[in-house]
Structure 1
Amino acid sequence: MPTRTVKQTRAEVVYNAIRSEVLSARVPPGTKMKLADYSERFDVSLSVVREAMSRLAEQGLLQANPQRGFATLPLSATDLRELTRARVLIETATLRESIANGDLMWEAQVVAAHHRLAATPMFLEDAVPNLDFVDVHGAFHVALLAGSGNGHLESIATSLRVRAELYLAWSRFLGDDPNRDTAGEHRELAELTVARRADEATDALARHIQRTADSLADYARTVGNGE
């Protein structure tokens, strides 16, 4: 039993370290991941590294290639543009449903989710991404849409947002938008949503999603994936 606990702890350390490197673009898009390098660095077996990378591949943060191991996802301007368009269409429609159908409990959940988000720093020391922020940020966006009463819409919206999580993270490190007030955008979204101002809230959400894509689009074109 003690041996199993140590193994789980090491696997979690390796998983979090690789996740942090991928989200901060310290491993550039389209890079082949060398299991042996991570095995040596963390003094763990190849199976522990493979387990960590498999988890990340399941979350859409790495690409699993049969017989070729793992790689970071390529950065495609076309995919970014299409994914952003899909998110805007689905998430704004679902938010409008939430505002129309959500009850007082839903409002409280939105306020609480925003409070947690506002209290969670985006970065740790030395510009290391705060993995807690990634999770809390996702929970805030889920909360915004959770009053819709339509599980299908919410499920599609969440799957698209999860698919965009890597682009969102890359936009903070590879994008060009130094004057962006992300915290202000989240605050505006929460306030407009709870105030039931559907047109303004959905417009704010569309701009919030689009701005992330815009900040990354130029970089995507410069690395040769702007087809």
Structure 2
Amino acid sequence: MTKSGSGGTRADEVYARLRTEVLAGRSRPGQRLKFPELIATYGVSAGVLREALGRLVSQGLAQVQPHQGFVVTPLSHSDLRELTAARVDLEVLVFRRAVEDGDLAWESRVMAAHHLLERTPLHIPDEQDQLSDEWAAAHADFHRALLEGCGNRRLLEMASSLREEAELYRRWSVSLGNEPDRDVAGEHRALRDAAVARNPAEAGRLLAEHIEHTAGLLVTCAVDEHDPGESSSEVA
């Protein structure tokens, strides 16, 4: 396998760039990821590109469809409802266990991740309808930290995988953070406080509400942005 100068693989580099393109909205849900164009763009072999695209598939950001090949995962209301239900069941369980099992180092990690999130601008300057990449990274890191105290690695990995799938929906919610009656920062502070207070019941309740509220916003945004000429199940 071809190595890069930093010790990683070329597939790692291409995967990271493709993931950024998808989550930044430059590759739209349902868009074909064409081999000839991508090989020319990234200057890699078909094998390297296929490996990178396979990683996107494993994280729910791309799919393989008959007669089309690789495409950015299409978004749909039914898939979002199913994904949300699975996340609430599993992620809440993992968070509760993290609150019960996490040590002092975990507490410190949660506090540090929240500190970074709270001080990172939510939106791109002069583009208040677009989440900044820095905030998205800090947000993902905070939620990852909340779960990392769970002692069951298998449960943690499954919950993390579902969060990755949900990232595509979150990044396509252009109104996230713009609700006048919602205090997203306050929700994150409450999650932090429940974690360090070692209150698993409250932590689970808050996380379930946080996930469901965001999912509801995504559905609303999808309806608002929906093209009547397309199938009613399509979000993008």
Normalising by the smaller structure, the TM-score range is: 0.7 to 0.9
What does the per-residue CA deviation read over 1:159-181, in whole Å, with 9 as the maximum and x for residues that have no partner?
A: 2112212112222x2x5762243
TM-score normalized by structure 1?
Answer: 0.77
Q: Provide the rounded CA distance (Å) in 2 between the counterparts of 1:103 and 1:11.
A: 36
Alpha-carbon distance in 1 for matches of 2:156, 2:77: 26
Kept in 2: contact 1:30–1:72 (CA 8 A): yes
* Residue among 187, 190, 196 paired with 2:189: 187
Q: Write the deviation string for residues 174-200 of structure 1: whole angstroms up to 9, x where unpaired.
A: x57622432222122111211223333
1:137 aligns to 2:145 (yes or no): no
One-letter amino acid of the counterpart of residue 94, structure 1:
V
Asked if the contact 1:25/1:170 (under 8 Å) is kept, the reply is yes
Residue in 1 that maps onto 2:64 = 64
Question: Counterpart of 1:218?
Answer: 220
Q: CA–CA distance in 2 between the matches of 1:126 and 1:14?
A: 29
User: 3-state DSSP class of the match of 2:121?
Assistant: coil
Q: Is the 8 A contact 1:75 1:220 kept in 2?
A: no
Deviation at 1:138, TM superposition (A): 2.4
* Aligned positions of 1:1-227 closer than 5 A: 18-37=18-37, 42=41, 44=43, 47=46, 53-65=53-65, 68-125=68-125, 127=127, 129-171=131-173, 173=174, 178-179=178-179, 180-220=182-222, 222=226, 224-225=232-233
Q: CA deviation at 1:205?
A: 0.7
Does the Cα contact within 8 Å between 1:23 and 1:129 map onto a contact in 2? no
**For the residues of structure 2 that align with 1:207 and 1:151, how far apart are their CA atoms?**
24
The answer to whether the 8 Å contact 2:4/2:10 transfers is no
Which sections of structure 1, spanning at least 5 residues, go unmatched? none
Distance 1:118 1:177 in 2: 13
Shift in CA distance, 17/95, structure 1 to aligned 2, threshold 3 Å: closer
- Extract structure 1 runs of 4+ deviating beyond 6 A: 8-14
% same residue: 43
Corresponding residue SS for 1:139: helix
* Structure 2: segments with no counterpart, 5+ residues: none
Which amino acid in 2 is paired with 1:225?
Answer: S
Q: What is the CA RMSD across the aligned residues, in angstroms?
A: 3.5
2:84 is matched by which residue type in structure 1?
T
Alignment check: 8 A CA contact 1:35 1:46 kept: no
Equivalent position SS for 1:71: strand
Q: Is the 8 A contact 1:36 1:46 kept in 2?
A: no
